[in-house]
């Protein structure tokens, strides 16, 4: 019981002081997870939080880079030509996303040069999960 209270108090202090938010992101994998979590927060009505269905409606793959002016840029690597609205939905989920303020300059430079790829896994109802955070796909 005392450990639980201590943990809750620590979380409260960190949230109040911003200590958790100040921890610098150290690698590309952390950037991808932070990016995916931000997409989930900003597109919560469109997110599939369960396991993706066995046969997906579409998969859209975007190359995500950090622009010189500090926002995310996305370009299409793979899309479903028969359903361009899903590509638009994936691109829209990236538009206006905040970039972590605690990126080391070397990592920011790598993100400007190379970026990373992320896959949007679309269900039949057009809800999506990002590959980085998705549960294992259901089987038939």
Predicted confidence (pLDDT) per residue in 51-94, tens digit: 999 999 999 999 999 999 889 999 999 999 999 999 999 999 99
- Rounded mean pLDDT, 91-108: 92
Residue 12 pLDDT greater than 50, yes or no: no
Burial grade of 99 (CB within 10 A; 0-12, 13-18, 19 or more): middle
Distance, in Å, from the CA atom of 95 to the CA atom of 39, rounded to the nearest integer, reads 10
Residue 25 pLDDT greater than 90, yes or no: no
Helix (H) or strand (E) segment spanning residue 83 = none
Architecture of domain 25-130: 2-Layer Sandwich (3.30)
Q: How many CA atoms lie within 13 A of 101 on its CB side?
A: 4
Q: What is the largest CA-CA distance in the chain?
A: 57
Domain definitions of the chain by residue range: 25-130
Location of structure tokens 């900003």: 42
């Amino acid at each position: 019981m005392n450990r639980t209270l201590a943990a809750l108090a620590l979380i409260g202090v960190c949230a109040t002081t911003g200590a958790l938010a100040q921890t610098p992101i150290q690698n590309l994998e952390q950037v991808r997870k932070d990016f995916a979590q931000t997409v989930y927060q900003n597109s919560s009505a469109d997110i599939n939080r369960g396991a993706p269905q066995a046969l997906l409606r579409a998969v859209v793959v975007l190359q995500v880079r950090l622009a010189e002016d500090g926002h995310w840029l996305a370009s299409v690597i793979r899309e479903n030509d028969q359903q361009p609205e899903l590509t638009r939905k994936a691109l829209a989920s990236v538009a206006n996303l905040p970039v972590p303020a605690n990126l080391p300059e070397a990592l920011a430079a790598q993100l400007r040069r190379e970026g990373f790829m992320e896959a949007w896994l679309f269900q039949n109802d057009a809800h999506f999960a990002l590959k980085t955070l998705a549960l294992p796909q259901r089987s038939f």
